[in-house]
Amino acid sequence: MTTIAASVAALLPVFRSIRRHVAVKTTSCLAEIRRLEMRNVQGTRKRLKDYFEESKDLIKSDGGPPCWFSPLECGSCSQGSPLLFFLPGIDGVGLGLIKHHHMLGKIFDIWCLYIPVKDRTSFTGLVELVEETVRSESHHSPARPIYLFGESLGACIALAVASRNPAADLVLILANPATSFGKSQLQALLPFSEVISDLLDLSFPYILSSMKGNLLKMVTASMVKGIPLQQTVADLSQDLVAMPSYLSVLTDILPQKTLIWKLQMLKTASAFVNSCIHAVKAQTLILSSGRDQLLPSKEEGERLCHVLQKCETRHFWNNGHFLFLEDGLDLVSIIKGSYFYRCGKCLDYVSDYVPLTPSEFNRVYAYHRVLSYISSPMLLSTSEDGKIVKGLGGIPSEGPVLFVGYHMLLGLELIPMICRLFIERKISLRGVAHPFLFTKLRENSCHYIPPFDAIAMTGAVPVSANNFYKLLSSKSHILLYPGGLREALHRKGEEYKLFWPKQPEFIRMAAIFGAKIIPFGVVGEDDLSKILFDYDDQINVPYMRSKIEEVTNEVKKFRTATDGEVANQHLHFPIILPKFPGPFYYYFGKPIETEGKSEELRDREKSRELYLQVQAEVEKCLTFLKEKRENDPYRNMLNRLAYRATHGLTSEVPTFAL
pLDDT on residue 19: 33
Quick check: 536 pLDDT over 60? yes
> Please, what sign has the CA dihedral across residues 366, 367, 369, 370?
positive
User: What residue ranges in 416-515 does DSSP mark as E strands?
Assistant: 429-433, 461-462, 477-480
Task: Give the 3-state secondary structure of residue 589.
Answer: coil
Task: State the Cα torsion 282-285-289-295 to the nearest 10°.
Answer: 0
Instruction: Report the interhelical angle of 414-425 vs 358-367 (nearest 10°).
Output: 150
- Mean local confidence (pLDDT), 433-456: 65
- Give residue 235's pLDDT: 53
Which residues are CB-neighbours of 599 under 8 A, at least 6 positions away?
Answer: none
Contact 263, 193 (CB under 8 A): yes
pTM of the model: 0.83
**Residues 15/410, Cβ–Cβ less than 8 Å:** no
Q: What is the mean pLDDT of the chain?
A: 82
Q: Is 314 helix (H, G, I), strand (E, B) or coil?
A: strand
Rounded (5°) CA angle 397-624-521: 45
Residue 102 scores a pLDDT above 60? yes
Amino acid at residue number 356: L
Average the pLDDT over 190-199 and give the result.
54
The reported pLDDT for the residue numbered 335 is: 93
Q: How confident is the model at residue 24, as a pLDDT?
A: 34
What is the dihedral angle through the alpha carbons of 340, 341, 342, 348, rounded to the nearest 10 degrees?
Answer: -80
Closest listed residue to residue 420, CA positions, set 33, 125, 99: 33
User: Can you list the domains of the chain with their CATH numbers?
Assistant: 2-329 (3.40.50.1820), 382-647 (no CATH)
Question: Measuring CA to CA, which residue among 108, 103, 80, 110 is closest to residue 357?
Answer: 103
- Helix 256-276 to helix 153-164 angle (10° resolution) is 40
What pLDDT was estimated at residue 44?
A: 58
503: helix, coil or strand?
Answer: coil
Are 322 and 293 a contacting pair, CB within 8 Å? no
The arithmetic mean of pLDDT across residues 271-291, rounded, is 94
Among 129-133, 348-352, 396-400, 526-530, name the one with the lowest average pLDDT: 526-530
Name the DSSP class of 604.
H
Summarised one tens digit per residue, pLDDT across range 554-570 is 776 655 555 556 666 78
Contact between 565 and 587 (Cβ < 8 Å): no
Long-range contacts: 373-377, Cβ < 8 Å, 24+?
A: 373/24, 373/25, 374/581, 374/637, 375/416, 375/524, 375/525, 375/528, 375/581, 375/583, 375/584, 376/583, 376/584, 376/634, 376/640, 376/653, 377/416, 377/417, 377/420, 377/583, 377/584, 377/585, 377/586
